[in-house]
Amino acid sequence: MLRTRVIPCLLLKDESLVKTVKFKNYSYIGDPINTVRIFNELEVDELVFLDIVASRENRPPNFRILEQIANECFMPLAYGGGLCNIDDVGRIFAIGFEKVIVNSQAVADPAFISRLADRFGSQSIVGSVDARKNLWGRYEVFTHGGTRKSGKTAVEWAVELERMGAGELLITSMDREGTWAGYDVNLTEGVAAAVKIPVIANGGAGSVAHLGEVVKRGNASAVAVGSMVVFQGKDLGVLVNFPDKRDLKEALL
């Protein structure tokens, strides 16, 4: 049995699923409810849903579509996007999600993570770090769907999120996201070496070999996959799928 979780990471825009490349250039994927049904049949470990415009639009989560997703889904769920207050987070848990993913509000109000951890437990709070390498080779952290610089670097911010009570980290390479070129192993490795909590690598997966590389070389505790599980292949059409478990076992163990 695999010890490394392989987690489809699905992007919500309004009430549709989309896929981006480097946080831009939306491609329509389909209806989230139908997609959940397919992943139920494929028996995936868990699902992540990220509303990629909620923070930019300064609006709360779309609870109606999230409730439909939770009612249909058989596996553990995590949600991120537009979470700015404890009441909304509590509502996400009441709907049936097991974890929340927090990015922009954590930067705006770092104590928010501590309040959530105190209220709901660190195991249910995932700190999200969206990072891009700058001209000097440092990984800068961005918020609001990759549109605002935070002034922080990835490793220092990851350490701070852990200190504040996050139980897990989702580390996304903005440079690799949607490219099929493989994870940024150096980014993942740098964060994993600095914290003791699980690190989920995200952004760039294009093959099962990429998953194995970021786990073995980057010390990721789990891997998030996007393009790989919603397209037939690079530059090909939409096809919701999941890697063969024998191939995953060979790559990850």
Q: Encode pLDDT of 56-95 as tens digits.
A: 999 999 999 999 999 999 999 999 999 999 999 999 999 9
Average pLDDT of the residues in 172-192: 98
pLDDT of residue 1: 42
pLDDT of residue 253: 85
Q: What is the CATH number of the domain that holds 92?
A: 3.20.20.70
Amino acid at 7: I
Cα 71 to Cα 18, 64, 67, 172: the distances in Å are 21, 11, 6, 28
User: Which domain does 219 fall in, by range?
Assistant: 5-252
Quick one: pLDDT band at residue 224, thresholds 50, 70, 90? very high
pLDDT of residue 2: 55
Query: Residue 72 is encoded by which pair of tokens?
Result: 């249909």
Instruction: Check pLDDT > 80 for residue 198.
Output: yes
Query: Are 155 and 188 spatial neighbours (Cβ–Cβ below 8 Å)?
Result: no
Average pLDDT of the residues in 178-203: 98
Residue with tokens 């946080």: 23
Which amino acids are annotated catalytic? 130
Positions of E strands within the chain: 5-13, 16-21, 24-30, 47-51, 77-80, 99-102, 125-133, 139-143, 148-153, 168-173, 199-202, 222-225
- Average confidence score pLDDT of the chain: 96
pLDDT of residue 3: 82
pLDDT of residue 133: 95
Structurally, the chain folds into a number of domains equal to 1
